[in-house]
Copies of this chain bind each other. A is one copy, B any other.
């Protein structure tokens, strides 16, 4: 099968997840998708175990991609030799090839992102394009820049904040056609540490969002985050359990509300906000923004932004810089 310029592989290689999608660029449609737990951290660990010398690292990571392409081809019953775009942690110190960060500001068109090309060879038959991360004087991101490109901003909007929740949430400030700065919040990681590894672990148990009582205690956590810092408020989780005020499941969402509320307390309310989140996180962040009485905000799907971000990058690098 000859390379088809209208089809490409979109790879989002995060710390803990690997996701590969075959995309029809004309239709802006995902043709097939495969996902696994072989994120960058697991892959780096596997690479270290081989004991091989550093020059072999890139090929090792390519073999992981190759394996997933094989699985995707098998799933779809077709063969492919398209370009592949890789964003996320693949460009980090733990990744396949470390790339320097591009400094802010960067354009929401994606035209000034640093993209590293590796031409196909006998071992790996796909032209590979790695997207580098972004830095400010005090912060870094790898992967979220691609989602930001796909947010559908037109470049003429007033200053606003894009909220990208996750293990390490990002708040990016966009002004006109540029992302001018951003900040990281260790929200997801701290929640996990507190819920699983602190003395609070015995006071919480995962529950389902559908339960209205869980939503209520989540809202209470968001509200309480405004009046206490997290060192103090988190001990309330223990008290809720000790004083039999909340069930362990309710308490889990109370803790979630405290942590997410603490993150969102940092936002500048005079600006408008764009929440870029997948389904489960959007439920939580949407509720938090409502509880905190934010008025000027919208939500878009993170998955969709990732696709559109990769489409922008694809058009730039493969079609020679054409804009959408």
Contact = CB atoms under 8 A, between A and B. Distances in A.
Interface of A: 138-140, 168-169, 183-187, 189-190, 193-194, 197-199, 228-232, 234-236, 239, 242, 259, 262-263, 265-266
Contacts of A266: 228-229, 231-232
A236 B239 CA distance: 31
B231 A190 contact: yes
A263 B230 CA distance: 9
A138 B227 CA distance: 14
A217 B288 CA distance: 35
A139 B235 contact: yes
A231 B230 CA distance: 9
Nearest to A168: B235
B259 A186 contact: no
Contacts of A239: 138-140
Given A193-B194, A197-B193, A197-B197, A186 B235 contact: yes
A184 B242 CA distance: 14
A185 B139 contact: no
Contact of A234 (B186, B232, B234): B186
Given A139-B239, A140-B239, A239-B139, A232 B185 contact: yes
A301 to B, nearest CB: 24
Nearest to A183: B232
A229 B262 contact: yes
Nearest to A101: B242
A257 to B, nearest CB: 14
Among A229, A236, A259, A263, find the residue whose CB has the most chain B CB atoms closer than 10 A. A229
A79 B197 CA distance: 43
Contact of A242 (B140, B197, B198): B140
Contacts of A229: 185, 229-230, 262-263, 265-266
A179 B155 CA distance: 58
Contact of A186 (B138, B184, B186, B198): B198
Nearest to A259: B231
Contacts of A231: 169, 185-187, 190, 230, 259, 262-263, 266
A307 B190 CA distance: 37
A115 B187 CA distance: 42
A230 B199 CA distance: 19
A230 B197 CA distance: 18
Nearest to A188: B231
Nearest to A184: B235
Given A186-B234, A189-B199, 14 more contacts: A138-B239, A140-B239, A184-B232, A184-B235, A185-B231, A187-B231, A190-B194, A190-B234, A193-B193, A228-B266, A229-B263, A229-B266, A231-B262, A231-B266
A198 B168 CA distance: 11
Contacts of A168: 235
A236 B137 CA distance: 11
Nearest to A187: B231
A194 B190 CA distance: 8
